[in-house]
Amino acid sequence: MNIHEFQAKELFARYGIPVPRGRAVKTARAAEKWAAALDTSVYVVKAQIHAGGRGKAGGVKITQTKDEVPTLAQNILGKTLVTHQTGPKGRKVRRLLIEEGVGIAKELYLGLLVDRATGSPTFIASTEGGMEIEEVAEQTPEKVIRETIDPAVGFHGYNGRNLAFALGAPVLDKPVMKALQSLLDNVYRLFMEKNASLVEINPLVVTTDQRLVALDGKVAFDDNALCKHPDIQAFRDLHEEEPLEIEAGAYNLNYVKLDGDIGCMVNGAGLAMATMDVIKLAGAAPANFLDVGGGATKETVAAGFRILLKDRKVKGIFINIFGGIVRCERIAHGVIEAAKEVGITLPVVVRLQGTNAEEGRALLAESGVNVDVATDLWEAAQKIVAMKGKKRKS
């Protein structure tokens, strides 16, 4: 789960990570009132959406006059920002962060995530703050610094010193070095205690008066651990998330919406990837990734089927199940139940192989539900691509 910048900074403040004074607002009037209370020499007006590249899209404005803040706020609120992370549809701005500016001497990059190669939390830092770290890694990889933390030992002073000396002059002055040690320790505590998958500060600035301040913040969390953190769940912004993905999560289904028109229901991530590949090979594109899992029941299958039918872009549905732990007749029962409940007006191709596959195919054939059954993967993919978009009686 992702959260907004102002929410990330709220967490930073809880964990002793320095941030500028700021407040989230939803109206120009609220922006005006907060600007008057803030009373600073520089005001920053920042759109709050779950995407990077806001500044380039016109979502970040700076002014030295508090009277300009409500006008800037009015211009950004309600605007649809299109960035490299939003896709062509963009994201509508419903909330702003109004905060004070700070005097910047140097911009750094700092991130913490799990390195899959080592299985350990790893700090990533760079002197090239303010830039996309992927861009820095591609163009100047020598400027990307890594420090792996042993999770059995935790963060220690030498980890901070390793990063400080690798970063060089910007943080080697005694006040900044001390502040960096404290900040890194606090970032690590936040990451571990809240089951984060990413904590990113870009830029982390060294100010003209030798302080460290998190000027921007991005935090993402492991969805599987959210049940332990009701305070983090409260940060969820349903406007920023795909409604079908939220609904799928309620049924413990692994669902990701894509841009194609063939709805997919598969058990197992590997088979799901292969299914999406074969749909592309047959000349269409998948509308989603939907893994019902090895322990699927007819209830979860029915829920998944309903979710596929709610996607208006879907012109055909391909159900591809290899029965191992899950039995194919369970899948068949779920398809039949969902089909009778909502009615099927789209082409549906079901491929069942493995445990009780013949029984599942027989159930579908005898149910009277308007679906096509296939046994071969390539045959099934070609069939659904050829049939997509053709209306049929429910």
Percentage of the chain exceeding pLDDT 90: 59
Render pLDDT for 18-75 as a digit per residue (tens, 0 to 9): 999 999 999 999 999 999 999 899 999 999 999 888 988 899 999 999 999 999 999 9
Specify whether 109 is catalytic: yes
**pLDDT tens digits for range 192-219:** 999 999 999 999 999 999 999 999 999 9
The predicted-structure confidence for 67-125, as pLDDT tens digits, reads as follows 999 999 999 999 999 988 887 888 999 999 999 999 999 999 999 999 989 999 999 99
200 is catalytic: yes
Q: How far from 8 is each of 102, 119, 191, CA to CA, in Å?
A: 18, 25, 12
Annotated domain spans of the chain? 1-20+104-241, 21-101, 243-387
Tell me the CATH architecture of domain 1-20+104-241.
2-Layer Sandwich (3.30)
Determine contact, residues 342/308, Cβ cutoff 8 Å: no
- Considering the segment(s) 243-387 as one domain, its CATH architecture is 3-Layer(aba) Sandwich (3.40)
Q: Which of 43, 107, 109, 188 is catalytic?
A: 109
**Single-letter residue type at 30:** A
Homologous superfamily of 21-101 in CATH?
ATP-grasp fold, A domain (3.30.1490.20)
pLDDT averaged over every residue in the chain: 90
Higher pLDDT, 294 or 177: 177
Question: Average pLDDT in the 149-156 region?
Answer: 94
User: Residue 385: its pLDDT value, please?
Assistant: 94
Which tokens hold the place of 35? Answer: 């600007």
What is the Cα–Cα distance from 231 to 222, expressed in whole angstroms?
14
Sorted by sequence, the CB contacts under 8 Å of residue 320 that are 6+ apart come out as: 264, 265, 266, 271, 275, 351, 377, 380
Catalytic residue among 200, 255, 329, 337: 200
- Two domains, one topology: 1-20+104-241 and 21-101: no
